Amino acid sequence: MIFLTVIARLADGLPLAASIQEDEQSGRDLQHYQSQAKQLLRKLDAQSPDRCMLEAGNMNFCYFISQGVCCLCLCDASFPKKMAFGYLEDLHNEFCEQYGKRVPAVTRPYSFIEFDTYIQKTKKSYVDSRARRNLSSVSTELQDVQRIMVANIEEVLQRGEALSGNQFGVKPQPVDQLSDSS
Amino acid sequence: MSTAGFNSQNGTGTGQTYTNGPSQNPVALQQPPGVGYGMNHQPAYNPMQAKVLGPPSPALYASGPYQPVPPGPQLGSYPPPPAQPLLTRPQIGVLPSHTPPQSASPGPGPRQAQATPPAQATPPPPAVTSTSYYTGPPAWQYAAPWGPAPNHVNPAAAAPPHMSHGSAQLPGPGAPPTSIHGYPQPGTAPPPMNPPPPHTYQPNRPAYGPPPTAPPAGPPGATGTPPPPKVDAQCWRAASSARPPTEPDTQEGDVECPGDVAGNGPQAPNSYNHVDNRMAGAAQPGPPGRHLGHYPSLPPGYQNTLAPPPSSLHPALQAATLPYTQGPQPYQQPGGPGPDQLSPSMAAMSLQSGTPEALRVVNLLQERNLLPPAPVPAPTPCLTQDLQKLNCSPEVFRCTLTSIPQTQSLLNKAKLPLGLLLHPFKDLSQLPVVTSSTIVRCRSCRTYINPFVSFLDQRRWKCNLCYRVNDVPEEFMYNPVSRSYGEPHKRPEVQNATIEFIAPSEYMLRPPQPAVYLFVLDVSHNAVETGYLSVFCQSLLDNIKALPGDSRTKVGFITFDSTIHFYNLQEGLSQPQMLIVSDIEDIFLPTPDSLLVNLNECKELVQDLLKSLPNLFEKTMETQSALGSALQAAFKLLSPTGGRMSVFQTQLPNLGVGALQSREDPNQRASAKDVQHLSPATDFYKKLALDCSGQQVAVDLFLLSAQYCDLASLGCISRFSAGSVYYYPSYHHQHNPAQVERFQRDLKRYLTRKIGFEAVMRIRCTKGLSIHTFHGNFFVRSTDLLSLPNVNPDAGFAVQMSIEENLDDMQVVSFQAALLYTSSKGERRIRVHTMCLPVVSSLSDVFAGADVQAVTGLLACMAVDRSVTSSLSDARDAMTNAAIDSLSSYRQSALTIQQPGLLAPACLRLFPLYILALLKQKAFRTGTSTRLDERVFAMYQLKYQPLAFAMLIIHPALYRLDDLSDEGALNINERTIPQPRVLQLSVEKLSREGAFLMDAGLVMYLWIGRNCHQNFLSQVLGVSSYAAVPEKLCLLPELDTAESQRTRALVSWLRDQRPFFPSLHIIRDESQLKPHFMQNMIEDRTESALSYYEFLLHLQQQISK
């Protein structure tokens, strides 16, 4: 399950678009995670690893950075890493296509909030296991998934400096460990 | 860098905006989620001790001594006062001796001299904390017998003023009495944080008395400005004051308070200013009379640049401010033109001893024609021209006293209520919008920088609410309007009393929500009978493209009778799918998604549904109504996002949760002296409303019913969720075409008007003043923060205030309302209004500044609360007492020469008339058959409508239409709109030969006299004779005659000025509606109520007791 998705400008962490899980049943209080996401986005910069997973209790933050745009999502710890990054890349491609050129100029937070509609649709196709079969692309595009770094969100946020590769306790994990459990 | 764009409407337009560039790592802000509602419930406001011994209750009127007015033809004529000494004084014009003694003595001199560098003088007065907590004065505390108040005895208040500052510690910190909603609140336990304060009378302050001849106040510096922040000891905002003011991030639940504060620059010299000002004829040193120094604290180096900036504004800015100015007040050179050339308020302050117009003594018993020919304008506060030019428009922000009394005891003496009336989200034609990564706010009290702050130098500004000195942030040094550097005082924020900011992400607890609209429709047999469904569906079809929103906008529909019906509108379905849930006891959503769908993507399905809905239930025989369960279902559907719920109900809900019983006995409508059942029968609707409020859901209620629906209970769903209530009594698609048209027009406005989501509004005021009771539809989240899940441009609010600390050293005080909301396009915005008013020390000055309409509007709100918490008769007495008390205080304390008659200052001359109008208003009248729902609706309207419309509802306008001419007509868009004189509401003013239009706000009556001119009948109504006027006519025919055009132009112009649609009824003497028309003849006597003249005599008798 994907609970929270934020797309932000890497340079200053300005949120550009977002989608929150509107599932009433989940009833989770996402406020804490939202503020962690905000802080994290402020910490990321050009030196940060472009793909990373951060553990936050029984949830994981995953982010993907490219072309000065960072896509971040919060998902269940059990959600397949491969899916998560596939989802993020998918969003990233579409987002940059639609808004990429305007990203450096905007000042208002959530300037592209209308992208929410696309996020929700895409999310549905990744979360719904039936729809997922159609996503053949995922497996091929992400061979590098093993090399994705994993760290703990609290530790990362507590460090004063910006996030960079060296600071990570880099411990690549085998994908199978996180494999499809749904 | 930052900027100001001027958008046409709320900034939803595309006006150009400058920006401050990407924000650089703004400080993170974590705010606790949610609204924490339920936090702050105060059990209604203190029902003022009923003045049992006081003035005669209405019952006495009937048997009173002055009854001799024979009913019938003499209606409205003034009989000679029975036992009244003949008042021979012909004209009570300007009596120099009436000059307020006190006002003259302190004079402007000393006060002006007090302008001091306040930064130095900060004697931290001890026990500030203690005095600062608001201690819940009784509701109409201003009526507490301070001065002589012979007409009522109030033991509680009779205690002499013995308490001193220190003793005011009664309620503990954070125990502000918000005594918000007047209704008793059964289900909600008062939160531990804010226990209701004891309802004692406000500990009295040492009576300062009419601040006497202001002692020349030693050296300027010694007068000391009030101590700086001192952590806002008085801060009712316990949460925020608890944390160090310097901490940038507010952890406050209040989204409206993010970090990043900044300061401001100085009043930089600017040659243009000098030039402009000279040209404007403004004497450099400031006007004579009281100069309320704007920048009293400028260090010497800056003194000579005191010249006010405004005149050299950027043209765009100027345009923006212009509509707000009241027309320049003439500046007077000392010894210049006489007082007659001064505007009233300026004159009041002039050194000369002429009596200002506002204080001209009027003997109400003698002067009959008190109504001005045109609508009563708002008084202009007595400020310097420069300040007034910048001041907030009275349409947005109005105060009952445009001159604020210096002390609570002075306020108590005036016996007038102190409060604000707001219309914060009003549609504006010009609104400066600023995009800037730093919104400059006071570090201590979080006030937004505004035109009334002072700049100490280039780098520091002083807050006008708490007096803290703040730094001007670097970014603020650049002025995007002039594109120049080093002129922080010229920034749009400092040049506009009404401004809107695009909020940075610190002001968001979550990504801005999309516009979400859910419609909940009654489809029981009764509802189908009324035929409203087809009107609603057609209206929505017609306006679906105009619903405010963007590509994220969502809509959904629920219908209900004894079961709840959902509609699956998922993309790809060939037609809408209806899902019926009959288990209304434990309501659930039949499918997790597709009940609220993206409007853009599913528009066709939505349109299909709207086309088929009216027929779907055509044959239904289901008579029951499970409204409560439908609301619960709707709440479940909306709670993940928040949004707007529009509920259409046509009968008393009688099934499942929230079921109600009829409580109205039609036989008691007229006879009972006290009206029962004004309070809700169940707390179900209120509780649900609070749940809604917590999830950013507002509920708007459309009640279309011929029978009793218990609006007093149902209405709570909208009141506490910041929704609006619409009521169409006796709605029927065939029998009541006027209501149908009204419903259609109202719906169009409702569907297409602007809307703000997940909003909060905070009202701040200068230290020393404190806000206590709020009126309107909202939930009070913390003492000064209103939770508004939706905000609409047609909602008005009112607040009551008291003076907690003497405002001794202040020349002006300010009020700021900040409304944080998400636009329908997903932008987070903050609209800020700031108003500045002078402080006065003499009773006469307080009276001179009274805004009689605002006073009346606020009293009406207070009386509604009183009716519910105490009783209707109590509320009526209290209103009458308000008039008695204030006039009696005026007579005894402000007048120097006593003379016979009922005397009032000119500015309050309409007060008794308005009070009488209130007593005869549907909400408060007795003795006339009034349906309970209509009464309750009238009460809602008084609290909800912005003042301008509330005043029409209270005191309708009467015009003669058969002799309309173009003389003095307005010319708008090449249409000529005649401006007939406003007539007194008395049958005396009618004539059988004429035709008269009565505009009562929500309804208009065009009364045709029996011998009406043939010309009018044929040219305007298109009929040959009086007898041919149809019985139920509610439309003016479009005839191609000058008379018809004039009449229609006037009617449609009147309608265009308000956001709701008043229906027009054309009536003759025989019409059924004639009694409604006649009931509004306020000045006339009716079987159960006094005439205006009798009422005046009654007041006079009470006053001279």
User: Residue B613 CA to chain centroid, in angstroms?
Assistant: 38
Q: Which of A9, A110, A117 sits opposite B511 (nearest CB)?
A: A110
pLDDT digits (tens, 9 = 90+) for B914-931: 999 999 999 999 888 889
Q: Which residue has the higher pLDDT, B328 or B661?
A: B661
What is the token pair recorded at B3?
């900027």
Comparing alpha-carbon positions, the chain A residue that sits nearest to B22 is A107
Residue B510: closest C-alpha in chain A: A34
Q: Do B827 and A108 touch (CB under 8 A)?
A: yes
Q: Distance (Å) from the C-alpha of residue B606 to the closest C-alpha of chain A?
A: 18
- Section B140-148 average pLDDT: 40
- Of the candidates B31, B33, B636, the beta carbon closest to that of A29 is on B33
Question: What pLDDT is attached to residue A76?
Answer: 87
Backbone angles phi, psi at B858, to 5 degrees: -70, -40
- Residue A47 forms part of a structural domain: yes
Tokens of B56: 């005669």
C-alpha distances (whole Å) from B238 to each of B39, B180, B192, B441, B774 are 13, 18, 13, 19, 19
Q: Do A12 and B551 touch (CB under 8 A)?
A: no
Confidence of residue A48 (pLDDT cuts 50, 70, 90): confident
Q: How distant is the Cα of A140 from the closest Cα of chain B, in angstroms?
A: 30
Residue contact A34–B19, C-beta within 8 A: no
Average pLDDT over residues A139-151: 62
Predicted pLDDT at B968: 85
Give the 3-state DSSP-derived string for chain A, with helices as H, strands as E and coil as C. Answer: CEEEEEEEECCCCCEEEEEECCCCCCCCCCHHHHHHHHHHHHHCCCCCCCEEEEEECCEEEEEEEECCEEEEEEEECCCCHHHHHHHHHHHHHHHHHHHHHHHHHCCCCCCCHHHHHHHHHHHHHHHCHHHHCCCCHHHHHCHHHHHCEEEEHHHHHHCCCCCCHHHCCCCCCCHHHHCCCC
Residue B141 and residue B412 in contact, taking contact as beta carbons nearer than 8 Å: yes
What is the interface size between A and B, counted as CB pairs within 8 Å? Answer: 90
pLDDT above 50 (res B851): yes
Three-state DSSP string of A139-170: HHHCHHHHHCEEEEHHHHHHCCCCCCHHHCCC
Chain B residues with CB-CB distance to A107 below 8 A:
19-23, 435, 437, 502
Contacts of B29 in chain A (CB under 8 A): 35, 38
pLDDT of res. B899? 81
- Averaged pLDDT of chain B: 75
Q: How far is B33 from chain A (nearest CA, A)?
A: 6
Residues in A touching B19 (Cβ below 8 Å) = 107-108
Task: Write down how long chain A is.
Answer: 182
CA nearest to A35 within chain B: B30
Q: A24: nearest CA in chain B?
A: B640
- Would the pLDDT of B238 be above 60? no
For residue B831, pLDDT over 90 is answered with yes
Neighbouring C-alpha atoms within 13 Å toward the C-beta of B881: 31
Span B481-503, average pLDDT: 90
Per-residue pLDDT for B1023 more than 60? yes
Interface contact B826-A42, CB threshold 8 A: no
Contact: A109, B505; criterion CB under 8 Å: yes
Mean pLDDT over residues B354-372, rounded? Answer: 85
* DSSP 8-class letter at B1060: S
For B640, nearest residue in chain A (alpha carbons): A22
How far does chain A reach from its first CA to its final CA, in angstroms? 9
Does the pLDDT value for residue B328 go beyond 70? no
- Residue tagged 């007194």 (tokens): B984
- Tell me the mean pLDDT in the region B465-469: 95
Tell me how many degrees the CA angle B344-B349-B350 measures, rounded to the nearest 5: 90
Half-sphere exposure of B399 (CA within 13 A, CB side): 28
Does residue B989 surpass a pLDDT of 60?
yes
| A180 — pLDDT class (breaks 50, 70, 90) | very low
Contact yes or no for B130/B169 (Cβ under 8 A)? yes
* pLDDT value, residue B437: 78
A67 and chain B in contact, CB less than 8 A: no
Q: Is residue A114 part of a domain?
A: yes
| Stretch (H or E) spanning B997 | strand B995-999
Would you state the pLDDT for residue B1040?
Answer: 94
Are B22 and A107 a contacting pair at CB < 8 A?
Answer: yes
Identify the pLDDT of residue A82. 84
Residue A103 domain-assigned?
yes
The answer to whether residue A106 is domain-embedded is yes
CATH at A101: 3.30.450.50
Q: What mean pLDDT is predicted for residues B754-765?
A: 96
CA-based nearest residue in chain B for residue A26:
B640
Put simply, the answer to whether B20 touches A117 (Cβ < 8 Å) is: no
- Nearest residue to B815 via CA among B857, B843, B780, B784: B784
What letters, b where the CB count within 10 A reaches 16 and e where it falls short, cover B89-115?
Answer: eeebebbeebbbbbbbebebeebbebb
> Hey, are the CB atoms on B509 and A25 less than 8 Å from each other?
no
Structurally, how many domains does chain A consist of? Answer: 1
Mean pLDDT of the B457-468 span? 93
More confident residue, B676 or B285: B676
Percent of chain B with pLDDT over 90: 56
- Among A71-75, B93-97, B243-247, B279-283, top mean pLDDT goes to A71-75
Would you state the structure tokens that stand for residue B1062, as one six-digit string? 């008043």
- Beta strands at A15-20 and A2-9: parallel, antiparallel or unpaired: antiparallel
Residue pointed to by tokens 């003439």: B330
- The minimum CA-CA distance between B505 and chain A, rounded to whole Å, is 6
Contacts of A34 in chain B (CB under 8 A): 509-510
Neighbours of B606 (CB within 10 A): 22
Tell me whether residues B510 and A20 touch, CB distance under 8 A. Answer: yes
Of A42, A109, A114, the CB nearest to B508: A109
In this predicted model, what pLDDT tens digit does every residue of B400-456 receive, in sequence order? 999 999 999 999 999 999 999 999 999 999 999 998 878 999 999 999 999 999 999
Q: Which residues of B touch A114 (CB under 8 A)?
A: 550-552, 826
Cite the DSSP H helix spans in B56-100. Answer: 58-63
Q: Which residues constitute the domain of residue A37?
A: 2-155
Q: What pLDDT shows up at residue B857?
A: 97
Backbone angles phi, psi at B189, to 5 degrees: -75, 140
Predicted local confidence at residue A135, as pLDDT: 55
Beta bridge partners of B785: B762, B782
Q: How far is A155 from chain B (nearest CA, A)?
A: 17
Does B281 have pLDDT greater than 60?
no
Q: How far is A139 from chain B (nearest CA, A)?
A: 29
Confidence category of residue B665, pLDDT binned at 50, 70, 90: confident
Residue B672 has pLDDT above 70, yes or no: no
Structure confidence at residue B122 (pLDDT)? 39
The pLDDT tens digits for B177-221 are 333 333 334 444 434 444 444 343 333 333 333 333 333 333 433
Domain-located, residue A14: yes
**Site from A1, A3, A21, A22 to mutate, B interface, most B CB atoms within 10 angstroms:** A22
What is the CB-side half-sphere exposure of residue B278 using CA atoms within 13 A?
5
Q: Do A109 and B514 touch (CB under 8 A)?
A: no
Cα B62–chain centre separation? 34
Q: B250-266 pLDDT, tens per residue?
A: 333 344 444 333 333 33
What proportion of chain B, given as a percentage, has pLDDT over 70? 68
| B551 pLDDT above the threshold of 90 | yes
DSSP-based helix, strand, coil % in chain B, nearest 5: 30, 15, 55
For the ranges B202-206, B391-395, B874-878, B977-981, the lowest mean pLDDT is seen at B202-206
User: Is the distance from CB of B413 to CB of B843 less than 8 angstroms?
Assistant: yes
Inter-chain contact B505–A12, Cβ cutoff 8 Å?
no
Closest CA of chain B from A145, distance in Å: 30
CB contact under 8 A, B511 and A117: no
Local confidence band at B955 (pLDDT 50, 70, 90 cut-offs): very high
Q: Is residue A160 part of a domain?
A: no
Q: Which residue has the tokens 């890493």?
A: A81
Q: How far is A92 from chain B, CA to nearest CA, in Å? A: 18
The stretch A85-91 carries a mean pLDDT of 92
Place of tokens 């699956």: B568
Percentage of chain A lying above the pLDDT 90 cut: 35
The secondary structure of B599-629 as a DSSP string is TTTTHHHHHHHHHHHHHHTTT-------HHH
Helices (H), B499-602: 525-530, 532-543
- A114 interface with B at CB cutoff 8 Å: yes
**Per-residue pLDDT averaged across B310-328, rounded?**
38
Burial class (CB in 10 A: 0-12, 13-18, 19+), B616: middle
- Asked if A42 is an interface residue toward chain B (Cβ–Cβ < 8 A), one would say yes
Minimal Cα–Cα distance from B951 to chain A, Å? 40
Quote the tokens at residue B253: 């639940």
Model confidence band, residue B671 (pLDDT cutoffs 50, 70, 90): low
pLDDT at B145: 33
Q: Look at residue A173 and tell me if it is in a domain.
A: no
Query: Is B592–A29 a contact, with Cβ atoms under 8 angstroms apart?
Result: no
Question: Which pLDDT score, from 0 to 100, does residue B505 have?
Answer: 87
Our CA-based measurement puts residue B506 at a distance from the nearest CA of chain A, in whole angstroms, of 9
Find chain B residues with C-beta within 8 A of A14's C-beta. 22-23, 505
Q: What's the average model confidence in pLDDT over B608-618?
A: 94
Contacts of B586 (CB under 8 A, 6+ apart): none
- The Cα angle at residue B825 between residues B820 and B827, in degrees rounded to 5: 40
Residue type, B129: T
A29 contacts in B (CB within 8 Å)?
A: 33
Can you tell me the distance from the alpha carbon of B343 to that of B329, in angstroms, rounded to the nearest whole number? 6
Chain B residues with CB under 8 Å of a chain A CB are: 19-26, 28-34, 435, 437, 502-505, 508-512, 514, 550-552, 592, 598, 601, 636, 639-641, 826-828
- Answer whether B30's CB lies under 8 Å from B508's CB: no
For residues B311-331, give the mean pLDDT: 38
Choice between B37 and A39, residue whose per-residue pLDDT is larger: A39
In chain A, residues 14-33 whose CB comes closer than 8 Å to chain B: 14-15, 17-20, 22-25, 29, 31
pLDDT level of residue B708 (50, 70, 90 thresholds): very high
| Closest chain A residue by Cα to residue B826 | A113
For the cut 50, the answer to whether the pLDDT of residue B389 exceeds it is yes
Overall average pLDDT of the B947-953 stretch: 95
Tell me the C-alpha distance between B652 and B626, whole Å.
9
- Exposure string of A49-84, with b = 16+ CB inside 10 Å and e = fewer, is bebbbbbbeebbbbbbbeeebbbbbbbbeebbbbbb
Summarize the confidence of residues B614-622 as an average pLDDT: 93
User: What's the pLDDT band for B18 if we cut at 50, 70, 90?
Assistant: very low
In chain B, which residues have their Cβ closer than 8 Å to the Cβ of A9?
22
Q: Give the separation between CA B356 and CA B289, rounded to whole angstroms.
A: 13
In a domain, A181, yes or no: no
**Chain B nearest CA to A31, separation (Å):** 6
Residue B904's φ and ψ, nearest 5 degrees, are -145, 150
What's the mean pLDDT in B501-511? 90
- The single residue listed with the structure tokens 């989940």 is A26
Q: Mutate one of B435, B510, B571, B691 to test the A interface: name it (highest A CB count within 10 A).
A: B510
Q: Kindly state the average pLDDT of the residues A108-127.
A: 91
Residue of chain B with shortest Cα separation from A37: B28
Per-residue pLDDT averaged across B525-536, rounded?
A: 95
Q: According to the per-residue pLDDT averaged within each range, which of A80-89, A138-147, B736-745 is highest?
A: B736-745
Say yes or no to pLDDT of B745 above 80.
yes
Q: Which of A9, A14, A113 sits opposite B512 (nearest CB)?
A: A113
Which ipTM was obtained for this model?
Answer: 0.82
